[in-house]
Structure 1
Amino acid sequence: MTTLQVKRRQIGALDAHNNPVVTYADPVDWEVWDIAPGASAEPWRTNRDLSLILWTIYAPNDDSLPGELDRVVLDDVDYDVEGRAGDWTRGRWYQPTAGAVVELKRAEG
């Protein structure tokens, strides 16, 4: 098992335009099974230097999974959670040890 950290999204006070201010709670530990690199996507547009850093996280399917609006800390860098976690415990036969898959993404450039 490897330990990452999850920062849960919170809605704070209203700003000067009456919009809620988005903040993140203090990080909490998240035990995961494995971390795999995702594909690095380089857009093919002219005058654009963008790189997407992607990670795939394999973890137990429990209440510690991050939500799609949370952030995950990996190697002291914050990554956005890309969509909802993929639940591999469902299927023809219940398989609680199958776990979940969480995709992380960060754009640079």
Structure 2
Amino acid sequence: MADGCSRAFFSIGRMSDMWIAQEKLPLGEHIARHVEWLTEHGAGIFNAISLLLSGVITAFTSALLWLNPLALIAIFALLAYYIGDHHARRPADSLRNGPSPDRTGRGRYRSGHIGRR
């Protein structure tokens, strides 16, 4: 019985696949028409966006190339330190005392509560 059901299910699936292949939506024509309209009427906006983005990219490139690479590494390291959790305990303390609590101050893993919610 299960074999007959699976055959019926797969034959329905094949029929729907054939229908999808035969009944195609005319999306290509609509998309081409919209792209053509955007190209004709939105050229000014696209040029302005392109000009703005190229200016931003040029400014970032110039700023990054202006700095000494070692200074840039130090700046990014300090930035990552201050953005990240720089109040974390030292590795030796975490090995001695177990996992550190989460950022809310509540212990995620309190003794006797591991695995319970």
TM-score range relative to shorter protein: under 0.3
The structure where helix makes up a greater share of residues is 2
Q: Whose strand fraction is larger, Structure 1's or Structure 2's?
A: 1
TM-score by length of 2: 0.17
Larger Rg: 2
Using structure 1 for the length normalisation, give the TM-score.
Answer: 0.18
